[in-house]
Structure 1
Amino acid sequence: MNAPADRADAPEITLYTSAVCGYCVAAKNFLKSRGLEWKEVRIDLDAQAREHMVAQARRTSVPQIFIGDTHVGGYDDLVALHRSGRLEPLLSGDRA
């Protein structure tokens, strides 16, 4: 489950990543520092997963981060969402 410890019904966090990606590591460290879990999808190992990511995100770079059905974007987008105060509501199931 990809939820804050106090929100078992929170939306799943999905990270599309590749092996050689500093921003992917940064995104995982950011989430880990907040006690969050996520599902990681390695697009460098799965061509179909890459196609799915591009279709959903309309971007080819990694990481691409989704919280539930909401496309957050990459690492910089995740941090910007946090700094604007809109990440916590999204993690709680409210759309940002």
Structure 2
Amino acid sequence: MYTSAICGFCVAAKTFLKSQGLDWREVRIDLDVAERERMVALARRTSVPQIFVGDTHVGGYDDMMALHRKGGFLPLIQGAGA
């Protein structure tokens, strides 16, 4: 998950993932310009968070929650762990 220090949606995303008992790797784009450029190249978006499950781009917090409400997020996570 690509994040920055001052980002309410990043905090919300991490809180949700923690509530599901999930681990994640956080990449702070505010500390590393090269990582910011990589995120934009991969996600084609400049906002954070940008959430990936393996190579699958989920999107931002709202995208992740919409996918979760449809019942698709946890199966995606489980498939990535297989």
| TM-score interval, smaller chain | over 0.9
- TM-score when scaled to structure 1? 0.81
- Identity fraction in percent: 73
Q: Which has the higher helix share?
A: 2
Q: Aligned pair count?
A: 80
Number of the residue aligned with 1:84:
70
SS of the residue aligned with 1:19?
coil
CA deviation after TM superposition for structure 1 residue 20, in Å: 0.3
Aligned partner (choices 39, 54, 66) of residue 68 of structure 1: 54
Q: Give the unaligned 5+ runs of structure 1.
A: 1-14
Which blocks of at least 5 consecutive residues in structure 2 are unaligned? Answer: none
More strand by share: 1
What residue number does 1:54 align with? Answer: 40
* Equivalent runs, 1:3-82 vs 2, <5 Å: 15-82=1-68
**Moved >6 Å (runs of 4+):** none
RMSD of aligned residue pairs (Cα, Å): 0.8
